[in-house]
Amino acid sequence: MFEGLFQPMHMLVVFGIALLVFGPKKLPELGKGLGESIRGFKSAMAAKEEGKPAPAKPHASTQNPPSED
């Protein structure tokens, strides 16, 4: 049923649509965020398999709280 679902031509069409929707300046940022998410997920899974708690990475919005002047 799903034979040939991810053929090279399909991937080019998906990439072209993403380029049109997000623009050329936003795509590298999206790719970087996706890569960081995948790395974080893999490290959490590896830590879980070893029986260790997953390393906590603070969220970007909690790193620098706004100062009240």
Report yes or no on whether pTM surpasses 0.85. Answer: no
37 with 31: CB under 8 angstroms? no
Q: 12 in helix, strand or coil?
A: helix
Token pair 């969220």 is found at 59
Q: How far is CA 11 from CA 8, 14, 21, 23, 42, in A?
A: 5, 5, 15, 17, 24
- Would you kindly state where each structural domain of the chain is located, as residue ranges? 24-48
Averaged pLDDT, groups of 10, the chain, 69 residues long: 72 88 87 92 87 62 55
Which pLDDT belongs to residue 49? 80
43 with 54: CB under 8 angstroms? yes
